[in-house]
Structure 1
Amino acid sequence: MKANYKFSNLCGTVYRQGNVVFSGDGNTVFSPVGNRVSAFDLVNNKSYTFPFENRKNIASIALSPDSNVLVSVDEDGRALLVNVRRGVVLHHHNFKKPVKAIKFSPDGKYIAVSHDSHVQVWRTPNHLIREFAPFNLHRTYTGHHDEVISLEWSPDSKCFLSTSRDMTARLFTLDPIEGFRPKTFSGHRDAVIDAYFSSDCKTIYTVSRDGAVFTWKAKVEDSDSDSEMDDKQPVASTSSTAGSLGDTIARTRWGVHKRNYLRQANTRVVCSAFHRPSNLLIIGFSTGVFGLWEMPAFSNIHTLSISQEKISSVAINPSGEWLAFGARKLGQLLVWEWQSESYVLKQQGHYFDMNALAYAPDGQNVATGGDDGKVKVWNTISGFCFVTFSEHSAAISAVDFAKQGQVLFSASLDGTVRAFDLIRYRNFRTFTSPTPVQFSCLAVDPSGEVVAAGSSDSFEVFLWSVQTGKLLDVLAGHEAPVSSLAFSPTGNLLASGSWDKTVRIWNVFARSHAVEPYQLSADVLALAFRPDGKEIAVSSLDGQVMFFDVAEGKQTNVIEGRRDISGGRKADDRMAASNNASGKSFNSLTYSADGQCLLAGGNSKYVVIYDTRDGVMVKKFQISQNLSLDGTEEFLDSRKVTEAGNVDLIDDREDSDLEDRIHDTLPGVARGDMSKRRYRQEARTKCVRFAPTGRAWAAASTEGLLIYSIDDSMAFDPFDLDIDLTPQSLLQVLSGREYLKALVMAFRLNEKPLIHKVYESVPRDDIRLMARQLPIVYLAQMLRFVGEHLERSPHLEFDLLWVNALLHAHGRHLRDRSGEYASVFRTLQKGLMDTEQSVSRLCEENSSTLSYLIDQSRVAQEDGDVAMGEMA
């Protein structure tokens, strides 16, 4: 039994708050998701979440120009310096004030950070050397009278612009210049949110929140014409060196050249970005609309609405083709190609909490249901949502797949159970009860023919036929809301758990529904059948997990889980976490595929794995270290407790945006509540499930869909190596035509070029014999190598012969251990599918070409016959 699961990926959340940034090559978007950072590879269509965690939700991130170093800063100003390629935290640093903006200089040597009304510039730590005090303060710049909002460097890294809530922008130089005093750009009537240099640094643009865009150029005293301005003022020229460019910017007397205003009614500018090479200005508004303007002419290229809520962050990639938008309220991340007017990426998480999840039988897809009434299906490999069903009108309480994996069922509080076709992506069945009830749980028969749902109103269990959609039966007997349902994997038994402290086992296809309930000491919250159907695990409100033998109907074991799941003190709790009895229970249970492990999660920051035979805890996982969530701290900070209560619960925000203060989520509210309360989400797990392969498990939590897996990507295996095993000795063995020995030696060395050389040296007639004699230890490596070779090599027949021989020789072994070889099968399948598609495409092209040539020859022959006839 393995328990070395590690954090693998975070799905279901694509953006929370802060700024999104593009990588140096423009192919990857980095987005803050709570206290973690996710990277979305737009070219390979993959996403991954870095394993490191900040103390609190991330407020700002910055990426170095070479994309090697990432700085993520949380709401309190505590920063992590991370090696991007390795995903390893190099250094911790505390800026001691909330950071609104952080930016690397274009040469990568400095980091500019907003520090309340000041700006600090730090020398960039060397990510290749371990240093004791890596962060070195270069200088602190003062002059603003209110909070600094944004920072922008000049192309030569000698100057930078800062903008502030005090309605001004200021120009600073990195190092002191004799006679230079910081320049102030004033005249705006609202907070200046961004300022930018043009590509030649002769122009500066400032954008304010009220939609004013000012163009600043060098002042000319005698004339206002552009030509005289350029003649009389020594502004930067394209032939300037890097040093003189900074001096020229500093010594220029800047003045307003032009004032432009964005005519957008009842809206404010929230964010902006500027692409220097193409002079393209992108502005995001509070209504979800964004626009593109070409500077300095200020000509509008196009305006588009991409969200129903305000756009929180915008970024443009280095080539200027793709725009990335983050919308905080909806949790949306969008990448838009503005020239072709098409989406490169469009992802959105659940608007409210994620309540339920289910793995598809092949383990490749995960379905989730949330309080927003949406059912989403995520691909575990790419991390992306590929279909969203929004037919439900209330919160989803449970989701489950049919055994074949092509049908997805969902139960909702709107009184319906729906069946979705995952081939045509449509809702093909809707099941309802005779009288309206709210469904709290769901179970699907192993054959996929019957679906059952339990109600929280009438305390009944309803059964429907999937084929006809008709109600088959109503099982009555519980005296409180039905909390959990599960079909036996092997028989016709249905188990139901209820808040009336009983578990009932129904024989749903028998004539009599008389059952003897299992009596428990507290309300039943969750239950699960062991994969062999002989045992059932039940969790109750008092924190116990009980095991019952289904055949004999007696209790076989009990686990006292209260202490295992306890932990985490909320901000308003009156007692310590160790003494608090509330919520210390499991509300979700799942067995592993072999039945040896039980995974349990509940209203806590912990998820626990138990050994079912001995009833002992194997491992405890903490789903989040995020201090922005309630219940992640064991002990509260006494300095934060005042007469008015905990400081964390006091709303001290100074939102100047009226729309941020208005609370209009209640139905029928027209004007809204101006005194919107502040609340903190609680760290909890709503649902846990093991993957069918057993290599991973997922948890629907406050943070999103957390996936933990066993990392099997060993880069170098030192076993079976001795001093005689060298590349030279391998080549000698290969020259002696001992192909199997050479192949085993190559796998032991684990060098791709050597494996490739040996593989292609094997004669075609020896493939079947070698496949039969290959040691089982190297079977997975061999299959993976052939699958990868299929994608790159032109030797199609050779690769197919190897695949055929390996599957024939070791088919039974692969079938018995399909879970272990799942990732290998996927690699092989991908290679074969790509090859099939390319071959079929080639055949179609050849068929079209041949048809064309035949038609042309026929036309030529007819023309020749006509000509001969005319001559005759």
Structure 2
Amino acid sequence: MKSDFKLSNLLGTVYKKGNLVFTKDGSKLLSPVGNRVTCFDLIRSQSFTFSYQHRKNIQCIALNRNNTLLISVDEDGRAILVNFVSRVVLHHFNFKSKVSNVEFSPCGKYFAVAVGRFVQVWKTPDFTEDRQFAPFVRHRVYSGHFDDVLSISWSENSKYFISTSKDMTARIYSLESSDSDVARTFSGHRDYVVNAFFSKDNDVIYTVSKDGALFRWEYTESLNEEDEEGKDDEEIKEEKPRQWRIAAKNFFYANGKLRCATFHPQSNLLVVGFSNGEFRIYELGDEFNHIQSLSMGQNTVDTVNINKTGEWLAFGSSKLGQLLVYEWQSESYILKQQGHFDSMNTLCYSPDGSRVVTGSDDGKIKIWDVASGFCLMTFTEHTSAVTQVQFAKRGQVLFSSSLDGTIRAFDLIRFRNFKTFTATSRIQFNCLAVDPSGEIIVGGSQDTFEIYVWSVQTGQLLDSLTGHEGPISCLAFGQENSMLASASWDKTVRVWNIFSRSQTVEPIEISSDVLCLTMRPDCKELAVSTLDGHITVFDIEDARQVHLIDARKDIISGRFLEDKFVSQNSNRGKYFDTIAYSFDGSTLLAGGYNNSICMYDIDNEVLLKRFIVSENMSIDGTLQFLKSGKITDAGINSDLIDRNGENSDLEDRIDNTLPGSQRGGDPSERRTRPAIRVTCLQFSPTTSAFAAATTEGLLVYSVNQELVFDPFDLDVDITPESTLESLEQKEYLVALIMALRLNETYLIHRVVENVPLKDIKLIAQDIPVLYVNRILNFVGEVLNKLDSPHIEFYLIWIKSLLVQHGDYMASHKFEFRPALKLLSRYLSKTAKEVVSVGKKNEYLLTFLSASKDLKEDASEGKGDDAQSEEDEDGIHSFVADGDDDEEMDDGDSDGEWMGPSDSNLNMNMKLKSKASGQPLTFAGENDDDDSEDDELIEV
């Protein structure tokens, strides 16, 4: 099994703080999520997370016009420059002060940074410049403000920019030193100037303040009345000086403070967001017109942006982690997402690996799409924290346990809670397990020492398994049979035969408290994680220990801010709370109350790889060493000192935090800092990824399968040119194997689709078994990612490979499992679409079937020539000449075919009507060369 997993996506959290950025074409949206950046493709419904991390939460991001360079700055002023296309970090830089905004110029040669009360303009790194030793070269520092700068806006020609500040003014600057006389201060506002914008022709400037005032500034001519007397018009035109003056004042009159604003110069659209959750759209120009107003909740709208076309608006609210993309013309949502309100407790993959379900302390269950990263559905039936979720084997039913004393079953077809399981007394369920057959569900609690068994069909409590002498910590079923394993704090593990209500072996004694267990997919072994930091593997049949892994040295626990010692001397979190087997049972994943996810090789009892969950210093448990520079004279870490009382805004000074609060409520209103933790781990059924529920969100690690060049059994004679040459010579099998060895996607695609239909079965029979898995993987990726229109063609490929190599695949099922999961996912999705289309066109199919019967009746007794006639029901039939082998023309005379030429039309669809039960055949040309008669074409 491969171990080169890398972070591919961050689910469960869509926005935390900072600004949102659209790409140039407006199809992608960049959102800062903690100390990472996530990119949402709004057209293809896909998302990915950049692999780099900041040391603190991101404050602002910017993308240049060419979509090649991305710069992100965190709360401490540390910036990272990234190649947006290849997702490679180019440079790290420290501005050494708090940065409130960063913006690229429209020309892309400069970017401006608001650092404190100054504006710094830097040259954008360019590979074409020679002797450039420093990637960041500062062009100039602009001063003039007396308080922190809030925003920067560039003119369209990149010669000027406006900065707004907390000193209630805005200033315009010129990029060149020769235009120093351009500098001008725009004053008159009575609160912070939130933002300022240039019009399309740069002759008008709009400034927006926090108290809801909009000033329109025009660059107009200014003359005194005394100077106008005694001068000709020509002299006046030559000597007229120009200056910025207020042309109009408008006010929003909202119930809350204005928090953010954006402007679209091409359409003169202004979008503003308020602290009460309301956002409004205005049209500026000669008049001030209010177009729309809408509310995204009761929480503050922290950021707003508009794409290049002016159609989509993006909003972010940090308090609840909301992200909206709104199309204002159609008044519909393109994207409406919100993460969990509290920390995640559990996760579970669907059987096809396309979805992940998470449960949280907020009592909500969310279903996430792995490919898009979007939340598909949220269940809110639980009234307390959700402790575990698990799918039934077919993936249509989801079970969840909660501390509210219930275990609920959800129908994922109709998306509803259809059954609720409870015990005889009110207890809190902390674990559950579902029988592979889907008939039995069991639950455990820390309140009692019994295991409760219910029937899924009837919902009745069948039995309670007794024997444990301590709280139940974990339950697990295998995938092959109905063997149930249970772990308890009484230092024992018991294995039950659930249908005979008996224990198959004697209780397995453990040296320490059992925290979690997992069963190997083939039900022959089970692994147990204990409080002393060991992972023990037992053989189920004879209850003997086969492997022992000491994980205490592999765990990176981290230190908290109040700790006076380094993490190496800490005993906190030196054990694993969650473990999971891989698909083949050879690898084990482990995580817990620490900053590491460890992957172990069970047979050799060695650590294969260790993943660091987060480097975000805003969370406890990520630092390793004590920084003495941050210790005050009183011996307190300076990061623990609350400085909110020094803020200038009243709403920032108000303290709503709960002393000692760690869980529940608003995450931004806790007095104690959140600590890094891994609460649940699970491998994907496709075997190419695994997910981890952490404090930062749902992290998805996957194997990079998009490598362009991965040579396999390469030879000197194997080149793309020789492959195409073999294809031209119709040596299809040779060309296919050569393309698979080169592993060039475009080459495999070209060879596969050029194989004639009649030769697919022969090539599938002769292809070596070594390449069967590779070709199945390719077909699955083409159908899922590229959405190929050649559905039937690839289905013939799949059928031929399965028929010819089915026995080999059955004996190597773990090897072929990822490819078969990809194909199963596509087929199930396509089947649903076909059924849906069939239901929508039911009456059309009935009409076409009835038309065929009428056509046959009308064609009896007719001549050989093609003719058109109308029968009693008003149905027109066009009957082709049975003896004429020529194609029908594209003419417009009566009785001739009005559609496209039949030369490229080659379809043979058989539809069956409920009414007549007769098949109807459509054909442009008869595929059978021996047939003399052309078939009937129905209009």
- Give the TM-score taking structure 1 as reference length: 0.89
Contact (CA 8 Å) 2:518, 2:526: kept in 1 or not? yes
Residue 240 of structure 1 is matched in structure 2 by none
1:275-290 maps to which residues of 2 (within 5 A)? 275-290=264-279
Contact 2:600–2:607 (CA under 8 A) maintained in structure 1: yes
1:104 is aligned to 104
Match of 2:157 in 1: 156
For 2:364 and 2:722, the matched residues in 1 are separated by 61
Residues 659-709 of structure 1: CA deviation (Å, up to 9, x unaligned): 555566879x9xx99x96643221210111112232221110111111112
Task: Indicate whether 1:821 and 2:825 are aligned.
Answer: no
Structure 1 residues 232 and 537: CA distance shift in structure 2, 3 A = farther
SS at match of 2:270: strand
Cα deviation digits, residues 240-276 of structure 1 (max 9, x gap):
xxxxxxxx9xx842122222121112x1111111111
169-178 or 486-495, which deviates more: 486-495
Q: 1:808 aligns with which of 791, 803, 812?
A: 803
Residues 692, 798 of structure 1: CA spacing in aligned structure 2 closer, same or farther, 3 A cutoff?
A: closer
Paired position in structure 2 for 1:587:
577
Residue 716 of structure 1 aligns to which amino acid in structure 2?
F
- After superposing the two structures, state which structure 1 stretch, 523-532 or 183-192, moved more: 523-532
Equivalent residue number for residue 740 of structure 1 = 733
Aligned length: 838
Aligned-pair CA distance for 1:517: 4.2
Q: Which residue is 1:244 aligned to?
A: none
Q: Is the 8 A contact 1:542 1:585 kept in 2?
A: yes
Aligned mates of 2:402, 2:135 — CA distance in 1? 53
Q: Partner letter of residue 817 of structure 2? A: G
Give RMSD over aligned pairs: 3.5
Structure 1: which amino acid aligns with 2:637? Answer: N
Superposition deviation, residue 481 in structure 1: 3.2
1:531 paired with 2:521, answer yes
The one-letter amino acid of 2:760's match is I
Partner of 1:604: 594
Decide whether aligned partners of structure 1 residues 496 and 264 sit closer, same or farther in structure 2, where only a CA change above 3 A counts: same
Q: Who is 2:33 aligned against?
A: 33
Q: Which residue of 2 aligns with 1:241?
A: none
Instruction: Give the equivalent residue in structure 2 for 1:291.
Output: 280
**Are 2:621 and 1:631 equivalent residues in the alignment?**
yes
Query: What is the correspondence of 1:714-729 to structure 2 with a 5 Å cutoff?
Result: 714-726=707-719, 729=722
| Native 8 Å contact 2:658 2:671 kept in 1 | no
The 3-state SS of whatever aligns with 1:818 is: helix
In the other structure, the counterpart of 2:210 is 209
Q: In structure 1, how many angstroms separate the alpha carbons of the residues matched to 2:377 and 2:125?
A: 43
Give 5+ residue unaligned stretches, structure 1: 225-230, 236-247, 864-872
Change (3 A) 1:144 1:796: closer
- The equivalent residue for 1:314 is 304
Offset at residue 288 of structure 1 (A): 1.2
**CA-to-aligned-CA distance 1:727-757 (integer Å, 9 cap, x gap):** 5544554454433223333444555665566
2:136 partner letter: F
Q: How does 1:267-278 map to 2 (within 5 A)?
A: 267-278=256-267
Give the AA of the match of 1:416. Answer: T
What is the rounded CA distance, in whole Å, between the counterparts of 1:512 and 1:765 in structure 2? 57
Matches within 5 A, 1:448-847: 448-510=438-500, 517-642=507-632, 643=634, 645-653=636-644, 654-660=646-652, 662=654, 678-726=671-719, 729-730=722-723, 732-750=725-743, 755=748, 758-759=751-752, 762-783=755-776, 799-815=794-810, 816=813, 817-822=815-820, 825=823, 829=827
Q: C-alpha distance in 2, partners of 1:269/1:176?
A: 35
Q: Which residue type is aligned with residue 420 of structure 2?
A: T
Paired position in structure 2 for 1:243: none
SS in 1 for 2:803: helix
Residues 35 and 57 in structure 1, CA contact (< 8 A), matched pair in contact too: yes
Say which is worse superposed, 791-800 or 182-191, in terms of deviation. 791-800
Q: Secondary structure at the match of 1:613?
A: coil
Which deviates further from its counterpart, 207-216 or 643-652? 643-652
Structure 1 CA distance for aligned equivalents of residues 224 and 250 of structure 2: 22
Structure 1 residues 264-313: Cα deviation after superposition (integer angstroms, max 9, x where no partner): 12x11111111111111101111111110111322111110112311111
- 1:152·1:160 contact (CA, 8 Å) conserved in 2? yes
Matching residue's letter, 1:291: R
* Deviation (angstroms), 1:570: 1.1
1:272·1:284 contact (CA, 8 Å) conserved in 2?
yes
Cα distance in 1 for partners of 2:80, 2:146 equals: 28
Change (3 A) 1:361 1:725: closer
Q: C-alpha distance in 2, partners of 1:64/1:232?
A: 45
Give how far 1:354 is off: 0.9
Amino acid at match of 1:103: E
Question: SS at the partner of 2:409?
Answer: strand
Quote the offset at 1:4 in angstroms. Answer: 1.9
User: Is residue 686–residue 821 contact of structure 2 (8 Å, CA) maintained in 1?
Assistant: no
Per-residue CA deviations over 1:755-779 (Å, capped at 9, x if unaligned) read 5665455444333212211233443
Q: Matches of 1:425 and 1:128 in 2, distance apart?
A: 56
CA shift digits 1:512-548 (9 cap, x unpaired): 6799644434332111122222322221222122233
- Residue of structure 1 equivalent to 2:360: 370
For residue 558 of structure 1, give the secondary structure of its aligned residue in structure 2.
Answer: strand
Residue of structure 2 in register with 1:238 after alignment: none
Check 1:443–1:179 CA distance in 2 against 1; reply closer, same or farther (3 A cut). closer
Aligned to 1:193: 194
3-state secondary structure, aligned to 1:315 = strand
Worse overlay, 836-845 or 378-387: 836-845
Note if contact 1:451-1:466 (Cα within 8 Å) is conserved in structure 2. yes
Further displaced range: 755-764 or 806-815: 755-764
CA–CA separation in structure 1 for the residues paired with 2:677 and 2:76: 23
For the Cα contact (< 8 Å) 1:661–1:676, is it kept in 2? no
Instruction: Work out the CA distance in 2 between the residues paired with 1:611 and 1:276.
Output: 59
Match of 2:326 among 336, 342, 352: 336
What percentage of aligned pairs have identical amino acids?
51
Deviations 1:815-856 (A, max 9, x none): 523324246526864996699689969987985996899999
Query: Secondary structure at 2:420's aligned position in 1?
Result: strand
1:436 Cα deviation (Å)?
1.7
Taking a change above 3 Å as real, the CA distance of residues 845 and 184 of structure 1, as seen in their structure-2 partners, is: farther
Are the counterparts in 1 of residues 324 and 336 from structure 2 also a CA contact under 8 Å?
Answer: yes
Q: Could you tell me how far apart the structure 2 residues matched to 1:347 and 1:41 are?
A: 14
| Shift, 1:491, TM fit | 4.3
Alignment check: 8 A CA contact 2:174 2:182 kept: no
**Cross-structure match for 1:166:** 167
One-letter code aligned to 2:371 = I
Distance 1:497 1:154, change over 3 A: same
1:177 CA displacement: 3.2
Confirm or deny that 1:420 pairs with 2:418: no
Give the match for residue 242 of structure 1: none
Closer/same/farther in 2, CA of residues 849 and 23 from structure 1, 3 Å limit? farther
The 1-side partners of 2:759 and 2:363 are apart by 59
Provide the rounded CA distance (Å) in 2 between the counterparts of 1:779 and 1:449.
Answer: 36
The residue aligned with 2:933 is none
The answer on whether the counterparts of 1:536 and 1:548 sit within 8 Å (CA) in structure 2 is yes
| Aligned-partner Cα distance in 2 for 1:98–1:425 | 46
2:684 partner letter: A
**Aligned: 1:432 with 2:426:** no
Deviation of 1:722 after TM superposition, in Å, equals 4.0
For residues 234 and 114 of structure 1, what CA distance do their matches in structure 2 show? 41
Residues in 1 aligned to 2:401 and 2:264: alpha-carbon distance in whole angstroms: 48
Q: Give the drift of 1:462.
A: 2.1
Are residue 21 (structure 1) and residue 16 (structure 2) matched?
Answer: no
**Alignment-derived partner of residue 447 in structure 1:** 437
100-109 vs 836-845, which moves further: 836-845
| Alpha-carbon separation, structure 1, partners of 2:542 and 2:198 | 79
Q: Could you tell me how far apart the structure 2 residues matched to 1:232 and 1:511 are?
A: 106
Query: 2: CA distance between counterparts of 1:232 and 1:216?
Result: 26
Moved more, 9-18 or 543-552: 543-552
- In structure 2, distance between residues paired with 1:464 and 1:170: 71
Unaligned runs of 5+ in 2: 226-232, 856-868, 877-939
